[in-house]
Chain A
Amino acid sequence: MLEALGVSRRYGWRWALRDLSLSVSPGETIALLGKNGSGKTTLLKTFAGLLRPTEGAVRVNGEPISREAKGRIGLLSHDPMLYAGLTIRENLGYFARLFSVESGEIPARVDLLAETLGIVERLDEPVRVLSQGLRQRAALARALLHEPEVVLLDEPFAGLDPEASGRLENVVRALCEGRERIVAFTTHDLSKAFDMAGRIVVLAGGRLAYEENAENSSEEAVLAAFDESSGGSA
């Protein structure tokens, strides 16, 4: 269970999130939609424990985010968070130890992930020389290394060619099928959101503008929520 309870977050002097409450149960996949600057990324980072809410609280399984809890969360951020000077394998080895994956298990997990993501041949190339698509896949491997219960993906399909995008999509789809897993992803692609997510959430001006199951929702309703005014200033 992943919950945001009345979360506000100030970034600089701007409120990036305003009194936002949202809860996601295990097995659920949600798509976060909204214009640029609507607070999608801030919300994901807050869920990941990377940002502390200015007000309100974020809870994982009923408990506030602790250091231990971060071990159950995997974040694919906008930034790949990989060392450009190291190879994918070295990067993954480093992060596996940070996430306290048993050292005996690391090679097997790296190989398995590399295979699913189609980066086996590139494992020993430095991240610096990789294309955007490969970097994104390597970054996803980093986020999934410790088999997180909560997977947070920030625009996983942005700027990818169809091949890379398709492969990533399959992996994310497989993740969503996990019965106990929570997946939350942000995207600008409405059709992908409807296709993959069980629930559509729209943010506007840092507030929750729209929340509906994918089956009962329509593109028109979502688009209307995009432009919803952020309400009176607080």
Chain B
Amino acid sequence: MRRFFSVLSAVVEKDLRLEWRTKESLLIMVVFALLVLTLFSFAFGPGGGSGESARAVQAGILWISFLFACVIGLSRTMGVEREDAGFSAMYASPADPSALYLGKVVSVVVLMGIMELVGFAVLAVLYQADVWKSAGTLALIAICATIGIAAAGTLFSAMSARTRTREVLLPVLMFPVLVPVLIAAVKATQAHLGGDGWADSRDWIRLMLVYDVIFLVAASVVFEYILEE
């Protein structure tokens, strides 16, 4: 167990250190998320306020932009693994593949978390969305959704990074599988942007937790086959 966490933390430390040195992925993720948020405002009109339909649009825009930005971030970090033969090096080591996988997931969650903070702030400014009224629950929703996205994204980007088309395939593999997370995250966020009670989003949070657990377990088990050359 100690070895498991030692490997996990080694991966997280390595990923975050690489990221900290260049800040390339994070920067492009944040800028891209902002870009999508702004573009959607042009497409849907300046839908500010806290009316039912306005909140639906805001929540949808928010999560779609996070999802798109995440694809770019994942392509970057997995691209590094491919170029520097990180997959082979991992597979040649005695480290537990589940620990390697979970380490990758944690670092993706951290990167996405930073991007989401910026995203929520921008949403509050551009759409006068009330993100403070129930910030705690919103954070919980964001964490559950982010873990789900990172869990699926890490697995599929490790695959797509090594196909002929490289990153292009990632959204095609990842988005259909992420449908439940997207629905749940948008619905729960929508309920909370209006400051509705906990009851409205409880079921959605539960759904995301179930998804997260199933996905993390299943992907941990099969990650070994992804590492192999």
Contact = CB atoms under 8 A, between A and B. Distances in A.
Instruction: Say if A and B assemble together.
Output: yes
B interface secondary structure, majority: helix
A95 interface: yes
A94 to B, nearest CB: 5
A90 B15 CA distance: 11
Contacts of B6: 97, 100, 103
Contacts of A94: 10, 13-14
B214 to A, nearest CB: 25
B93 A70 contact: yes
Contacts of A80: 85
A187 to B, nearest CB: 21
Interface in A28-54: 45, 48-52
A60 interface: no
A45 B10 contact: no
Given A94-B13, A98-B7, A100-B3, A84 B83 contact: yes
A48 B229 CA distance: 12
A50 B85 contact: no
Central interface residue in A68, A82, A83, A103, by most chain B CB within 10 Å? A83
Contacts of A27: none
Interface string B200-229: 000000000000000000000000000011
A99 B94 contact: yes
A98 B91 contact: no
B130 interface: no
B121 to A, nearest CB: 29
A51 B94 contact: no
B22 A83 contact: no
B89 interface: yes
Interface of B: 3, 6-7, 9-10, 13-14, 17-18, 21-22, 80, 83-86, 88-96, 228-229
Interface of A: 45, 48-52, 67-71, 73, 75, 77, 79-86, 90, 93-95, 97-100, 103, 126
Given A50-B91, A83-B86, A99-B95, 20 more contacts: A50-B92, A50-B229, A67-B94, A67-B95, A70-B93, A79-B85, A79-B88, A80-B85, A83-B14, A85-B18, A86-B18, A93-B10, A94-B10, A94-B13, A94-B14, A95-B93, A97-B6, A100-B3, A100-B6, A100-B7
